[in-house]
Structure 1
Amino acid sequence: MYVVRPAAAAAAAFLGLTLTVLCGTAAAAASAPGPGPAAPSAGPGPMGLGGPVVYAHRGASAYAPENTLEAVDLARGLGFDWVENDVQRTRDGELVVIHDDTLTRTTDVEEVFPDREPWRVRDFTAAEIARLDAGSWFADGRYTGARVPTLREYLDRVRLNQQRLLLEIKKPELYPGIEEDTLEVLDEAGWLEERRVADRLVVQSFSADSVSVVHDLRPDLVTAFLGTPAVADLPRYAEFTDRINPMHTTISADWVAAVHRLRGAHGRVMEVDTWIVDDAATARKVQDMGVDGIITNAPDVVREAVGGF
């Protein structure tokens, strides 16, 4: 069973999770990689020991269709350990990896199902979504035929690539109980094993309630809140999360320092992973603010700018 019961919560708190891991990079690899072992990890860590961790947002989404297996593989080929994804739920209860709560922007749903407006994810079955082309909209069409993966398919690919996962529960208010559903799939796919929980998985959301639910169900998991709480409110968030992940335009060095003065749900210094940073100048700016990680569509650009990994 994936849920840690209250009686075990105190023990879980002593796991001493490492909230930012040593996940080095490899040299840039081929432009069209396939699945397989990731490049060896090497390099320094954050918090003054080296560049910030670089997270490939929705995979290497500047170069391949977001949230697809192709984007995950490309991030691996570029040498990036951490990928970020979004999770939502279909009409028949399957979890799928897609950002928008409608299918129109990143698939051909309007052509395949012209009479199903407004084409919301939750109104389609997993089998229907599997029929959609999630790649032809991107760039020059070289990814035509890419699909919207299920969460299980996505987890299996990330695991095959020996990558790490920053998983976002998207719009949980639309999907009551999605936290439990997500944990169940993570458990079935082997992602709640102690080793992976300790240094290969972070669960985040824009919903503080959702993050709190995940923490209550699995106190051993590293969690992150997406947003920029006021400094006075930060201690409340520290009760149930380990990281505060804000948009880069909303933060300052003083705010980052205020987060770092707190210890999070696992007794470690709270971290800041900012988003979405796709250019060198902004990457250097937030690095100077002291952030621990940078979430980016163009991870190679950010790595070159800040020496991150």
Structure 2
Amino acid sequence: MDKRLPEHPYLNWSGPIAFAHRGGNRTAPENTMAAFEHAACIGFRYLETDVHRSADGVLVAFHDENLLRTCGLDANIADLTWAQIAQLRVDGTEPIPRMVDLFERFPEHRFNIDCKADAALEPLVELINTQGALDRVCVGSFSFKRLQTMRRRLGPGSLTCLSPIETVCLLVFGRLFGSAQRAAQVPPGRGRITVVSRRFIRNARRAGIPVHVWTINDAAEINRLLDLGVDGVMTDDVDLLRSVYAERGVWVSDT
């Protein structure tokens, strides 16, 4: 018999969750306030982002370690002060937001936060606690060590994604160890390996783990994954995902 999905408040949503990956990037540059504003305006309540720490300890919503791809500056976030970072513009138009700015601008929204560096870990834990945001946050990382530290620091009321090794355990062995509340946030596949299949979803159900798939920007693939029974989809194209959900009658928004 399948276990009930975890009762963490973050997962309390009727229907598959729609995630705005980095806020979306079709109408505004990724991980900018303008992108998150657009996603929120059309009804998204789950916002995905990433965090790095500046040289002077400020937590910023930004994906890459280096600023070259999005800001045209060959420098690392960790080597610049917040005052320097605040002068930069993503794609030449939008400033880089602090994570605290996102929490304060969207106090009712839920955040998926990928902790990209060890240096960002303690500031993120402190910010979540200061904001009283534990019930509306799922924390992720590709580092199992980092995830374990965050689980320990945030306590039993936290929700985190699976690490890659935990995903393999669920995929191959159909089980997980430990009592931490977790979500399987995974790509459809990796190379020649299919990750999201009926078997994987069945394994996740038995373990009481919801399955959220990233990053899907194709309508046919969104429909295929929903037909498989996934619990959420992350996308860069928030208008497309909203449209597909609406067509299927599964779009939910509290606006």
How many equivalent pairs are there? Answer: 234
The two structures, once aligned, show a CA RMSD in angstroms of 2.1
Q: Deviations over 1:133-190 (max 9, x none)?
A: 1242xxxxxxx2x11111111221222xx322111111x3xx34x3222011122234
Distance 1:101 1:258 in 2: 34
1:166 equivalent to 2:112? Answer yes
Residue 236 of structure 1, CA deviation: 3.6
1:286 equivalent to 2:225? Answer yes
Q: Deviations over 1:33-62 (max 9, x none)?
A: xxxxxxxxxxxx13xxxxx11000011322
Distance 1:19 1:127, change over 3 A: closer
- Identify unmatched segments of 5+ residues in structure 1: 1-14, 23-44, 47-51, 110-117, 137-143, 263-268
1:148 equivalent to 2:96? Answer yes
1:215 equivalent to 2:151? Answer yes
Distance 1:99 1:248 in 2: 21
Question: Retained in 2: the 8 A contact 1:69–1:157?
Answer: no
Q: TM-score, normalised by structure 1?
A: 0.70
The aligned counterpart of 2:3 is none
Distance 1:71 1:238, change over 3 A: farther
Q: Which has the larger radius of gyration?
A: 1
Aligned-partner SS, 1:105:
helix
Residue 233 of structure 1, CA deviation: 5.2
Residue 223 of structure 1, CA deviation: 1.3
Distance 2:115 2:215 in 1: 17
Aligned counterpart in structure 2 of residue 20 of structure 1, from 11, 15, 22:
11
Distance 2:10 2:34 in 1: 28
Question: Retained in 1: the 8 A contact 2:175–2:203?
Answer: no
Q: Which amino acid aligns with 2:77?
A: V
Runs of 4+ in 1 over 6 A off after TM superposition: none
Residue 252 of structure 1, CA deviation: 1.2
> Matched residues, percent identical?
28
- Identify unmatched segments of 5+ residues in structure 2: 1-5, 190-194
1:242 equivalent to 2:206? Answer no
Q: Deviations over 1:98-149 (max 9, x none)?
A: 001100111143xxxxxxxx4111111111111101242xxxxxxx2x1111
Question: Retained in 1: the 8 A contact 2:159–2:180?
Answer: no
Alignment of 1:1-309 (within 5 A): 16-18=7-9, 20-22=11-13, 45-46=14-15, 52-109=16-73, 118-136=74-92, 144=93, 146-159=94-107, 162-170=108-116, 172=117, 175-176=118-119, 178-192=120-134, 197=135, 200-218=136-154, 219-225=156-162, 227=164, 228-230=167-169, 231-232=171-172, 235-236=175-176, 239-249=179-189, 250-262=195-207, 269-306=208-245, 307-309=250-252
Q: Which amino acid aligns with 1:216?
A: R
